[in-house]
Every structure is written in C-alpha cells, then in structure tokens.
Chain A
Amino acid sequence: MKVTLAMKPAAKWFIPIEAESIVPKNFLSGTDLRVWRGNRELRLDEVFSVSVEGDADRAEDVEVVLSGDTFRLKRVGEYLDAGKITVLGGIGMHCGNFMSGGTIEIHGNADGWLGREMAGGTIVCRGDAADYCASGYRGGRKGMKGGTVEVFGRAGDFLAESLAGGTVIVHGDAGDMTGAEMRGGTLVVHGDCSRPAANMKDGSCYVYGTARGMIPTFKKIGTVQHDGRTLIRFSGDLANRGKGNLFVKGYEYLD
C-alpha cells in the first residue's frame, strides 16, 4: 500500500503541525487520522491531499510518501516500528523519535532532533540534518540506543549527543560538540567537526577530517589503519574517567 500525503497550502503556514499519527501502521485502518496545528486539532485531509494506492495487512507493506512544504511538520514517524516513510522534501523536528524499526528516507533537509532516542530501524537523510541529530532528550542519560542514522549532507551541533548504541554516519561536516557525552555506539563523521566526543564515557567516534578545538583531556594512543585511512587514536575523556575511543585524521587544540 502506498499512501501519498501532499501538503496543502495554509493561511497560517508558519504555525507548526504535529503529526505523530503519520506512521505506516496507522494507515492500515484508513486515513481518518488527526494532526495538530498549534492548539487546533485537524483532520488529516484538512492539511493534506490524501491518496491511497493498493492495500496491505501489515505495516511492513505500507509506504507513506510526504510531499509539499513539509519542513514544519513535526514528529512524523514517532514510534515507527515497521514500514517506510519517504519525505520528498524537507522534514520538521523530531522525525523518527523513539523509532524501533522500519525506514525513513528524507530527500531534503531534516530539522532538529532527527531520530531522537531512536532504538532501531534506519533513517537516511539525503540533505543536511540540523542540531541534535540522533540525540537524547533533556535530562536523559541515554540518547539513541540502536538502529542507523545516515546523513549525506552536513549535521548541526550536538550530533549524537549521549549516543548509547547504534550507528550514526555523517558524510559531510558536523558542528560543535559532536558526540558529546557518548556512552556507546559508533559515530562516523566523514568531514570536519568541532570538539568531538567531549566528556565521552564509552563508544567509538571517528572523524575522517579534522577535529577542531580538540578536547585536551584525551590521551593519544597511536595511529591505526581504518578503512584504508590512517587515523590517530585517542582514549578518553579522561576528565570523565571515560574509556571511549576517538579516532581522528587530524586535530587542532585551542591552545
């Protein structure tokens, strides 16, 4: 089954819409779903032109395609456990919160908190991801626990904050405090980033570019070969009695 949701133009286009009901399994029983614009509850078809092709018995066989100006659409794919969501443009905050399975593919950019507290499944973002991609929640001890997030563009600040499990790959550069408070999992940044793995406890962080503002409390262990690259291996963060691994191609201290 393929559900296509095309965003309709709206007068108050600037008020964000929360649409956690947009997950494949909900469409198994029809399209009578609700979303919220600010404090107003709306029917799905007040916000989208809805069309359905084919049918399905299981969420795995449902694909939801979102088109139009969806960059203010929040919480799409929250608690996703099976099926696929394809976003043709950009997507708003908290896409794929808490997801445990299934796939989300975003052709444009993703706003903040993409895949927050994710436990499984796959998110692919072809554009850039804003701050707090694959991170945790305020005050929480653990961020993402499992699954994969792959960003082909750049990522913002606090990428994979408190990462506890799973894999995060960013093909472009990442921002400041990349992998802060990591306690597990694997983070790979193909480009440059700033202050990676600050206060890390455990896990592995790879920076194939340059780590700017390198945290001074990592201990240099030596060089390693990784995927055909020569990387410098550090252990830390000593300040946090951490036993994590940080691999960088190059680094600069703020001295």
Chain B
Amino acid sequence: MTELLVKNACVIDPLRGINGETMDIAIRDGKIVEEVSDAAEVIDARGMLTLPGGVDSHTHICGTKVNFGRYMSPEDMRAGRTPRRGAMHATSGYSVPTTYGNSYRYSVMGYTTLLEGAMAPLEARHTHEEFTYTPLQDTMANTLFDGNWAILEAIRDGDVKRVAAIIAWTLKAVKGFGVKLTNPGGTEAWQWGKNVSCIRDPVPYFEVTPAEIIRSIVEANELLHLPHSVHLHCNNLGTPGNYSCTLGSFGLIPDLNEKRQTLYATHVQFHAYGGSEWKDFCSKSEPIARFVDMRPQIVMDMGQVMFGRTTTMTADGPMEFNLYRLHHEKWSNHDVELETGSGIIPVIYRRKNLVNSIMWAIGLELALLTKSPWQCLLSTDNPNGAPFVKYPEIIGLLMSKRYRDAEFATVHPDTESRVPLPAIERELDWHEIAVMTRAGAARALGIQDLGKGHLAPGADADVAIYPLKIDEVDPSAEYQKVIDAFSRTEYTIKRGRVVARRGECLVHGSNATLWVAPKVSDGYDMGKDPDFIEKFDRYYTVRMSNYPVQEEYVTRNRRIETEAEL
C-alpha cells in the first residue's frame, strides 16, 4: 500500500463544482480516497493551483502517420534533442517529437491522459506499440471509419444496425476507443485522387453522401453506447467559405445522449472560414459559436494555430495535397486499403501572412465567443495548428485581453478588418481554463466515470500542481506568470506517484490503454458474418485472423465493455 497526501492545495475541480478551495487530497494505491493514514508521504502544495491531471481530447502523438512525420523530418528532430538523464530516455524533435519527447513534455505540463486523434484500424498495432513508449500518460485511440467499405455499403443499404455491428467488431479488434470520421467520404474519393466538396456530394462508386455517413454513424455510435460521441473532422478543411459546410454538418446532429454531446467536432478553427477565395478570406467564428451555443449536443475543440514552424498531419489526404500545391514543401500521403488515408506536410505559420493571422484569431475567437467552456475545449490539433508545448501561451491569450492586443499588434495589418477578435473583451478565468483542459475534455470523452478529469474519491490519482497562487496573480496583466506556471508543474502526479517535478520526469511510468469492447448479440457479430468475412478475405491484404491487435500490445489493459442495442 502506498499513500500520499497533498496538503494545502488550492483546488479547482469543475466536475465536482469545486472552484478554488484550499483542501487536502488523499491518495492510496493510485486512487483518490477520503483519507489516508499518518504514514502517508506528504506533499505541501502551499496554496498552489491544483487541478485534475490534464486531458487532451485531440492530439496526434502515436501511430503510422505521426511516425512518418518524424521519419521524413530530420530537420525537425534536431530542433529538440535531450540526452538520457535519470529516469528520462533521450528525446528528439520539436513539432513531432519522439514518443518519449511527447510523454515527458506533456507530463511536465501536467497532462496525464491523451487521446490520439486518428488511428487507421489496419495499422492499429503501430499506434499501440507507440502508446507503450508514451509512459507517463494513459492513452486511447480514435479509430477511423470515414472510408470503411463495409460501412459505406451498409449505409447505402440503409442498415444502421449493421453499421454499428461493423464498428463494434472493429473497435474490439483494434482496441480502439472512439469513432473518428475524417473528411467522411473524402478519404475514399481521394484513393482516386478526388474529393467530396461538401456533405451532399456523393462518394464515387459507393454513392452515399458525407451527410448520410455522418448521420448513420452518429446513430450507430449511440446504439453501441460508446463512452465517447462520434468525433468529426468535417469535410472541406482549410478552404475559404467552409463554415457553411461546417454548419451544415452540425445541423445534421440530433441530441441523442443525456450524459454528453452527440457530436465532437474537432479543430473547428480550420472549419470556420468565410470568403470565397483566399483574397476575401475571413473569420466566421461568430456564426459557428452562436450555432454551438444553441446546441448542447455539440462540443468542439479549438484547433488553435500559433505562429512558427510545425508539421501538419491528418487523415485528410486531399487537404494535405492542396496544402502541398500551395507551399510546394515536402508532401507525404498514405492511403490505407478499404479504410482511410493520411497526409503530412511541414508548414510555417507566419505573422506577416494575412491568412495565417486570420487563422490565429479564429481559434481564439471560438473559445471566447462560445458561451460555455464545456463546449469549446483547448487544442491545437497537435501538431497541426502548433505543437502542444504552445498550450500555456494559448491559456495566456485566453485569460488576457492585454496579451491578445499585444500579439495582435504584431500580425498582418489587414487582419483587423477580417476578424472580430479585437472587439472581444472576454477574459477566461481559472475555472474555465480547468474545464477546457481537463474536466470538459474528460466529460466529452466520456471518461469521467472511469475516474478521469476530476478528483473525487475513487478517481485516478492524476493531479497537476502548478507553481502559482491564483489570488496573487492577475492573469490579465501578469500573463507571463500564467504561461510559465502552465509550462512547468511543481508536481505532476500520475496514478498516485509523482512523475514530474519542476521540469524533470522522475519515473518511467506505468501507463494504461483505454479501449472499448461493445457487447453485441451473436447475429451482429461480424466475425461470424459470411459476407463480411468473404469480402475481407478477397480485398484486404492481411488475413482476418492476423488483423486483430493481440493483448500483448495493450499496456495495463483497461477494457471498457458497453451493452449495445444489437
């Protein structure tokens, strides 16, 4: 039995309605408990800001695409190298760090749970292998279903239950967590070098539209009672005028779940563009935020862009090709048979560039204009908008109008006429930041009942203590202090152990993988479905028996069973 007592912590724990109370946190064997014995080790938090461990609900850290981003970028690798030191292995990389690099840097910022945003089922084993080497965070993987042939056929046949059954079989086989749709239909079209323009444009051969895909899969997701909702990367990412397509997609979503949203829309900054071409490109954050305000069934994340060098990587192959034609930088693409695809290019977001400046403003506007922080979570779609190490600066920007104004003065001068940002006075408070970076993310992912995102007895003892006293710092003026504090915890506690202290990671860690196994009746077990098996055998190049990810790949297996209505 190991016990730990964090004394005098200034706790903000939004899921429990605690906002800045000074209290003790008792920990036994990795869990939060009511109290511990006198033998417990004691950490005196001395009134420092103490939050549940950070939860990133959309990041790209592990798997085929991420690793290809590293593989093709030795120039990025050399931008951030550290040697092996104490419990820490060597790290490399800035925008796409090695797995250890990701894990240590996230840990130092107080993050303890990460959702990998996109995993192709066929290559799931790779994602899980990298999870093993991301030792200081619990991980889970969004599983890509945007171009899944069996699902497209079932949708064409109007059989939502079969859609659900295929999702159930696949999630279980590949040990996935949630359902991800990236440019639904577009990734399949891209395997012909084509794309879909918006939600009413049919997918070649399969003749179903993105709207039908989104609606059917949302319905199927709820039939399976998955912890997380459908996680959508809308069609048409990054094109002027795409906000109407985004609103159209949002409009498809009924409110089907009491506990959480029915749709998680990711990196909405990239989908909130007005104008008809780059020349009249402008922000449409206002209509998006207004729309979301009226619909509790939608939660989004920012997809904030920050200036500097980064690497874009998404399952959205056609979008990456368009970026390549724009920048003529190096371009990688990887289509995955019967399932999905991905693309990667390095980019530099520049202050002097009008489009980049507008993008930077839009992400902030979404967070500031959306009334409830539970509906707009903090993200950069790491590393697409910026590497996650920029989160503290984003927090600073959201909490300080003065900081925003100072930054605004350095961006392209025409930005002012294209975005509402300068007129927005709102400054987020500590509680709202806590929602956007942990409580809200945990609730959106549906993992609060698994003990994530809060500090109630029974929860995982994942705690972040930041070297800052909220009653002594005025974030509006002293934003640099806020940035510094969120960049480096005093203590990061993961499963009851101090894993990071003042920038150093202290243990190798023992992370867990969360995955979902929906229980379906025999008739909906695709593993026994003759048609499914026959097509699998004929068109995949991997045998069906070699497709599922074996137990060997799952570290500290946390299997979540759901009762499906099938």
What sequence of 0s and 1s flags, for each residue 185-201 of chain A, a beta carbon within 8 Å of any chain B beta carbon? 00000000000000000
Is the CB of B197 closer than 8 A to any CB of chain A?
no
Interface size class of B (residues with CB under 8 A): under 10
CB distance from A146 to the nearest CB of B (A): 19
Chain A residues within 8 Å of B329, by CB: 141
Chain B residues within 8 Å of A139, by CB: 72-75
Chain A residues within 8 Å of B74, by CB: 137-140
In Å, the complex CA distance between A141 and B328 comes to 11
From 366 to 414 in chain B, residues with beta carbon under 8 angstroms from any chain A beta carbon are none
What sequence of 0s and 1s flags, for each residue 37-69 of chain B, a beta carbon within 8 Å of any chain A beta carbon? 000000000000000000000000000000000
In Å, the complex CA distance between A155 and B104 comes to 44
Chain B residues within 8 Å of A137, by CB: 74-75, 78
* Dominant secondary structure at the A interface: loop
Most A-side CB within 10 Å, residue of B73, B75, B329: B75
Chain B residues within 8 Å of A138, by CB: 74-75
CB distance from A8 to the nearest CB of B (A): 28
What sequence of 0s and 1s flags, for each residue 122-160 of chain A, a beta carbon within 8 Å of any chain B beta carbon? 000000000000000111110000000000000000000
Chain A residues within 8 Å of B78, by CB: 137
Chain A residues within 8 Å of B73, by CB: 139
In Å, the complex CA distance between A138 and B329 comes to 15
In Å, the complex CA distance between A140 and B75 comes to 6
In Å, the complex CA distance between A141 and B76 comes to 12
Residue of B nearest to A138 (CB): B74
What sequence of 0s and 1s flags, for each residue 75-87 of chain B, a beta carbon within 8 Å of any chain A beta carbon? 1001000000000
In Å, the complex CA distance between A140 and B329 comes to 11
CB distance from B330 to the nearest CB of A (A): 8
Residue of B nearest to A136 (CB): B75
Most B-side CB within 10 Å, residue of A137, A138, A139, A140: A139
From 94 to 144 in chain A, residues with beta carbon under 8 angstroms from any chain B beta carbon are 137-141
In Å, the complex CA distance between A141 and B348 comes to 13
In Å, the complex CA distance between A234 and B74 comes to 33
Chain A residues within 8 Å of B72, by CB: 139
CB distance from A181 to the nearest CB of B (A): 12
What sequence of 0s and 1s flags, for each residue 452-492 of chain B, a beta carbon within 8 Å of any chain A beta carbon? 00000000000000000000000000000000000000000
In Å, the complex CA distance between A44 and B72 comes to 37
In Å, the complex CA distance between A139 and B78 comes to 11
From 165 to 219 in chain A, residues with beta carbon under 8 angstroms from any chain B beta carbon are none
In Å, the complex CA distance between A140 and B77 comes to 11
In Å, the complex CA distance between A138 and B74 comes to 6
Residue of B nearest to A140 (CB): B75
What sequence of 0s and 1s flags, for each residue 552-565 of chain B, a beta carbon within 8 Å of any chain A beta carbon? 00000000000000
In Å, the complex CA distance between A137 and B75 comes to 8
Residue of A nearest to B71 (CB): A139
In Å, the complex CA distance between A7 and B351 comes to 50
CB distance from B70 to the nearest CB of A (A): 11
CB distance from A210 to the nearest CB of B (A): 32
In Å, the complex CA distance between A141 and B345 comes to 13
In Å, the complex CA distance between A139 and B79 comes to 13
Chain B residues within 8 Å of A140, by CB: 74-75
Residue of A nearest to B328 (CB): A241
Residue of B nearest to A240 (CB): B328
CB distance from B397 to the nearest CB of A (A): 30
Residue of B nearest to A201 (CB): B328
CB distance from B219 to the nearest CB of A (A): 45
In Å, the complex CA distance between A139 and B311 comes to 14
Chain B residues within 8 Å of A141, by CB: 75, 329
Chain A residues within 8 Å of B75, by CB: 137-141
CB distance from B316 to the nearest CB of A (A): 23
From 12 to 55 in chain A, residues with beta carbon under 8 angstroms from any chain B beta carbon are none
Residue of A nearest to B329 (CB): A141
In Å, the complex CA distance between A141 and B72 comes to 12
From 177 to 216 in chain B, residues with beta carbon under 8 angstroms from any chain A beta carbon are none
In Å, the complex CA distance between A140 and B309 comes to 13
In Å, the complex CA distance between A139 and B72 comes to 7
CB distance from B235 to the nearest CB of A (A): 31
In Å, the complex CA distance between A141 and B73 comes to 11
From 207 to 237 in chain A, residues with beta carbon under 8 angstroms from any chain B beta carbon are none
CB distance from A254 to the nearest CB of B (A): 28
In Å, the complex CA distance between A35 and B78 comes to 21
CB distance from A145 to the nearest CB of B (A): 14
In Å, the complex CA distance between A141 and B74 comes to 11
CB distance from A116 to the nearest CB of B (A): 12
CB distance from A85 to the nearest CB of B (A): 24
CB distance from B76 to the nearest CB of A (A): 8
In Å, the complex CA distance between A137 and B76 comes to 11
In Å, the complex CA distance between A121 and B113 comes to 49
CB distance from B323 to the nearest CB of A (A): 16
In Å, the complex CA distance between A141 and B329 comes to 9
In Å, the complex CA distance between A140 and B78 comes to 11
Residue of B nearest to A142 (CB): B75
What sequence of 0s and 1s flags, for each residue 256-275 of chain B, a beta carbon within 8 Å of any chain A beta carbon? 00000000000000000000
CB distance from A1 to the nearest CB of B (A): 33
CB distance from B371 to the nearest CB of A (A): 44
In Å, the complex CA distance between A137 and B73 comes to 11
CB distance from B531 to the nearest CB of A (A): 46
CB distance from A29 to the nearest CB of B (A): 25
In Å, the complex CA distance between A102 and B73 comes to 31
In Å, the complex CA distance between A138 and B73 comes to 9
Residue of A nearest to B76 (CB): A139
In Å, the complex CA distance between A140 and B74 comes to 8
CB distance from A119 to the nearest CB of B (A): 16
Residue of A nearest to B72 (CB): A139
From 329 to 367 in chain B, residues with beta carbon under 8 angstroms from any chain A beta carbon are 329
In Å, the complex CA distance between A141 and B75 comes to 9
CB distance from A241 to the nearest CB of B (A): 9
In Å, the complex CA distance between A137 and B74 comes to 9
In Å, the complex CA distance between A241 and B5 comes to 66
In Å, the complex CA distance between A23 and B78 comes to 22
CB distance from B560 to the nearest CB of A (A): 40
In Å, the complex CA distance between A139 and B74 comes to 6
Residue of B nearest to A137 (CB): B75
CB distance from B94 to the nearest CB of A (A): 13
In Å, the complex CA distance between A11 and B454 comes to 61
CB<8 Å pairs between A and B, sample of 11: A137-B74, A137-B75, A137-B78, A138-B75, A139-B72, A139-B73, A139-B75, A140-B74, A140-B75, A141-B75, A141-B329
9 tightest CB-CB pairs across the interface, nearest first? A139-B74, A139-B75, A138-B74, A140-B75, A139-B73, A137-B75, A139-B72, A137-B74, A138-B75
Apart from A140-B75, A141-B75, list 11 A-B contacts with CB within 8 A.
Answer: A137-B74, A137-B75, A137-B78, A138-B74, A138-B75, A139-B72, A139-B73, A139-B74, A139-B75, A140-B74, A141-B329
